[in-house]
Amino acid sequence: MNWKTYLLSLAVFSSALPAFAQHSSSEPVLDVSAMDRTVDPCVDFYAYSCGSWVKRNPIPPDQASWSTYGKLEDENRAQLRTILEDAAKTNGARQAVTQKIGDYYASCMDEPAIEKLGLKPLLPGLDRIAALESKQDLAEYVATTQFPPSLYGGGTLFTFRSNQDFKDSTQVIAEADQGGLGLPDRDYYLKDDAKSEELRKAYVAHVARMFELLGDKPADAATEATTVMRIETALAKGQMTRVERRDPPKLYHKMSVEELQKLAPSFAWKTYFTKTGVGSLGSPLGTLNVVTPDYFRVMNEQIEKESLADWKTYLCWHATHDAATSLSAAFVKENFSFYGKTLRGREELPPRWKRCTNDVDNDLGEALGQAYVAKYFSPQAKQAALTIVKEVEAAMQSEIQALPWMGAPTKEQALIKLHAIANKIGYPDSWRDYGSLDIIRGDEIGNSERASWFEFRRWLAKIGKPVDRNEWGMTPPTVNAYYDPQKNDINFPAGVLQPPLFSASSDAAPNYGDTGATMGHELTHAFDDEGSQFDAQGNLRDWWTDADRKEFQQRAQCVVDQYSGYTIIDDIKINGKLTNGEDLADLGGTLLAYLAWKEDTKDQKLEPLDGLTPDQRFFVAYGQSWCTNEREENKRLRATVDPHSPEKYRTNGVVANMPEFRAAFHCKPGQPMVRENACRVW
């Protein structure tokens, strides 16, 4: 997946920023009742910070995990529900934006109408598949399928989208990438351990049950599911691993359309590009980035190898899978049974209002975001957040200037990049125009389909145009944040700028331990193992001296080795190469927050509070930002696909490297939270 895709797919990793908006929560940033003071902080700091929280916060049945962020997401979702229920009322005139989000939500909530339709909304797409006359017709079908290829991986056969040119960050180019799988990652098809084999069997059984819901006999459905698995396994073998994709140069292969046609001649690319609307060969689509050439070679081999009948089976499965959550209850429940229960361990399907609220946020996020921001996010919150970012950036500047292992030429370039970072807080400066998107009350699957195509075409319309650096990759209500290395900007949606992640009534120490660590985390991404390969303008360029790059890699490897020794569940270890960027950001970000806090309060006489010194309060707040309960199934899933370490190690792994923590809690050499060979980059 490309850089923006990678960033958007991340699990929640950030703390929040200051907010003075109206919010229902009054929880403090540091909750002493959440601690377990019977635990020695020098032995297990996560248990010390979160032990009581973990005991009194069981995982809700509709959740795969439960955390500080999960609770805030639920609060935000309830607030969005209120907005949507008001917007869905038809008594009186409604603005266009209100009409769209209200009618979308009302259509999604109308279960009787959806049940009455049953399979009917899917039939036109299935009829189109049945009518395919040759494998040359695959391109036209994929280009015009009911739901377009996913922008973020998966989808039918491959992913097609636009992206900033890695070597010219001012321009947008087309991009073709691997995809075509129904399981979360290539490794699910290829790993030979007992659990992976068990999950593959469960997946095949799920696919068969979906074919049965389409009306196929059990024996035929079982055969069809085997066909799907065979084709997807072959496609998976051609895909890059997630670790391989952490090296940006490996994701950049600029080709002409003619070269792509030679790479995969059995797929009618001219037809595909014409039908998607990006133009015929050479005009206007002259070149594109083929992210994973090997995948397209394998895809071509499979097109030639598999029969048209088997490709039709594959297409029927993906058409059904893509539409499942918008169909009748039988499809929704079967989809949840595998993806929610088997893969993630959830016990119950989330209530419909939660699912519909998420759908509106996904498909009309900036329309819904306008109402959310107006009600829950103040100008004061935006300014306060920006102030803290600047303070942490000042700490980063001081650290770069003082680094003993980095030479002057590299420091100069690092400071140029630091000063060029744009800080985007709360919401976009201008809102997305959904005027061309038709939302029809009572047409649930049609609304979903049209919204998918609206977003797909919006991305394709960028090709050949200058980059819009004001655009956001997350919706305003999102409880998350991200750094974009190609735009060189930090993005904090309004949804994460809410209590209890920050409180204006709190003392500074926990605000910096929680909020400041997030700011530092995002900032450090600009200089982690991936972000450090892009320059101040967002171009893929090596701005390091060879000696400094080697020094950086040695320090990053220290972190890889440390985290690779931690166990997630059973005998599954953290993949330290996969999590390295996030681990570096956690470590660097917490240090920057600590330094910024010390500078901010250097003239103040800080006193202990709640039996904790100011330094201890800083670190406990950091630890409590990661308080989490998680189901075993979800731990296994994250071990394969998530570039973040488990929350316990995001806490203990960081503080074990920090002499500042050691001093705060008077830890002694040899204790678990004191690493003999501590890692430090920044």
Active site residues: 522, 586
Q: Ramachandran region of residue 488, left (φ > 0), alpha (ψ -120 to 50) or beta?
A: left
The 3 state secondary structure assigned to 276-299 is HCCCEECEEECEEEECCHHHHHHH
Residues 6+ apart with CB under 8 A from 91: none
Burial (CB < 10 A; 0-12, 13-18, 19+), residue 202, is middle
Residue 478: which H helix or E strand, with range? none
CB distance 266 to 296 below 8 Å: no
- Residue 36 CA to residue 661 CA, distance in Å, equals 18
- Residue 37 CA to residue 53 CA, distance in Å, equals 12
Helix, strand or coil, per DSSP, at residue 107: helix
The 3 state secondary structure assigned to 497-562 is CCCCCCCCCCCHHHHHHHHHHHHHHHHHHCCCCCHHHECCCCCECCCCCHHHHHHHHHHHHHHHHH
- Count CA atoms within 13 Å of residue 486 on its CB side: 24
- Residue 459 CA to residue 162 CA, distance in Å, equals 6
- Residue 330 CA to residue 325 CA, distance in Å, equals 10
Q: Which long-range contacts (CB under 8 A, 24 or more apart) does 381-384 make?
A: 381/17, 381/18, 381/19, 381/20, 381/21, 381/426, 381/494, 381/497, 382/425, 382/426, 382/497, 384/17, 384/18, 384/19, 384/20, 384/504
Helix, strand or coil, per DSSP, at residue 572: strand
Residue type, 575: N
- Residue 469 CA to residue 492 CA, distance in Å, equals 15
481 closest CA partner among 1, 11, 24, 2: 11
